[in-house]
Amino acid sequence: MKIAYDLFAETNPAFGAYGLLGFCRKYLAAAGKRPAFALSYIALPIALSDDLDASFEQTTAITGLLTWLNRYPDVRVDLGARLDASKDVVSAAMRFALSARALSLEADGTFRPGPQRPVQAAADSLPHNAKRALKRAERLGTWMGNAGTAGTIFSAFGVTP
């Protein structure tokens, strides 16, 4: 039997919702406050970018966002185009997460884990590359949670919200 890998699976809104939920949980744990909605449009595209995986391999949760960006300045190269190209994927993931009640959007423009918890077993059975993408989302949640405001984070990446 041959096993086929779905090249578009990582653009699936349900998969993106898992990434956003992991990002949100780690951000909350690090910052003690909810992440700004706009951060999802920078965190998820970076997390889903397999070409950036090598830059994450030599880091830990305590490395920090600015240290990572200083070690790997090429992350910023064509970042605006990457983020622009992925906005529909992020929007679909966010809509799915909100409609499934996995995330809740607050009146102040932040989001938090919602009342429905997705089954972890679904993420546990994903292929290795997909699991790494979810780990990158969590790592970015920790780093961004420790980095400061959304404006500071966008500035560090050299993009504007």
State the residue for tokens 């951060």: 39
Q: To the nearest whole percent, how much of the chain has pLDDT over 90?
A: 77
Q: Tell me what the mean pLDDT of segment 54-65 comes to.
A: 92
pLDDT score, position 125? 75
DSSP-based three-state secondary structure for 36: strand
Strand intervals (E) in the chain: 103-105, 111-113
Q: Residue 159: which pLDDT band, with cuts at 50, 70 and 90?
A: confident
Q: Tell me what the mean pLDDT of segment 129-136 comes to.
A: 92
Structure letter (DSSP) for residue 50: G
pLDDT score, position 142? 97
Nearest partner of 93 among 134, 53, 142, 40, judged by Cα? 40
| pTM to 2 decimal places | 0.90
| b/e per residue 120-134 (b: at least 16 CB within 10 A) | eeebeebeeebebbb
